[in-house]
A and B are shown apart, each in its own frame.
Chain A
Amino acid sequence: AQSVAQPEDQVNVAEGNPLTVKCTYSVSGNPYLFWYVQYPNRGLQFLLKYITGDNLVKGSYGFEAEFNKSQTSFHLKKPSALVSDSALYFCAVRDRSGGSNYKLTFGKGTLLTVNP
């Protein structure tokens, strides 16, 4: 079975400060890891993914995430937050060894609020 935990329901940061949204995962094999973002009244949008290679992944809008296998984590980060980054963020995982299992398992989401 595969699962994702986002330990914080809400994260609040001041504009210009660095932000981190935490994610830990559990899979039986090696993971594919993803971050998606949902802006108010909008559908989910793909932000970035880790498939293989460099543990530091860079994505859209200046976001990045670091895959840490020993800690089974994939935290989302941004050096300087913008008010427009305020949204609901979802971490997702798929077991690379899942064969025909293409099911993505999502976390419960973390609401990020960036204060001016």
Chain B
Amino acid sequence: GAGVSQSPSNKVTEKGKDVELRCDPISGHTALYWYRQSLGQGLEFLIYFQGNSAPDKSGLPSDRFSAERTGGSVSTLTIQRTQQEDSAVYLCASSSGQVANTGELFFGEGSRLTVL
């Protein structure tokens, strides 16, 4: 596609349920990032994938959060046993191998998660 695609755009779930958020990066982009945007908290880094290297998981807030990237393309962020504090907009971004060195990221429109 022309841009980074995320689904679902909106997700409402009950506390304790598991959710999966999907990101389809720009074709050919080797770097993929997940960020979380909460009101008043800015953008919080969650995880970074680059090619076949081990992902940087340093931003995942707890072991309920995990992410994978299959075939170097599509990524899924999974949140297990969701809590109300997980409510946020989850943003995915990708960049090419070259601009990964300088940081120009292309963002999707996000998945808004609401945990009741």
Contacts and interface: CB of A to CB of B under 8 A. Distances in A.
A29 B109 CA distance: 32
B2 to A, nearest CB: 13
B91 A104 contact: no
A28 to B, nearest CB: 16
Contacts of B104: 34, 46, 49
Interface in B90-116: 91, 93, 100-110
Chain B contact residues (Cβ within 8 angstroms of A): what range?
A: 20 to 34
Chain A contact residues (Cβ within 8 angstroms of B): what range?
A: 20 to 34
B51 to A, nearest CB: 11
B65 interface: no
B45 A103 contact: yes
Nearest to B43: A106
Contact of B107 (A43, A94, A107): A43
Given A51-B102, A94-B103, A104 B45 contact: yes
Contact of B105 (A6, A41, A101, A104): A104
B102 A108 contact: no
Contacts of A104: 33, 45, 103, 105
B35 A106 contact: yes
B70 interface: no
A105 B42 CA distance: 10
Contact of A101 (B35, B56, B107): B56
A51 B91 CA distance: 24
Contacts of B40: 9, 108
Nearest to B47: A103
| CB-CB nearest 7 A-B residue pairs | A108-B42, A106-B43, A44-B107, A43-B107, A43-B109, A94-B103, A46-B104
Interface of B: 4, 31, 33, 35, 40-43, 45, 48, 50, 53, 56, 58-59, 91, 93, 100-110
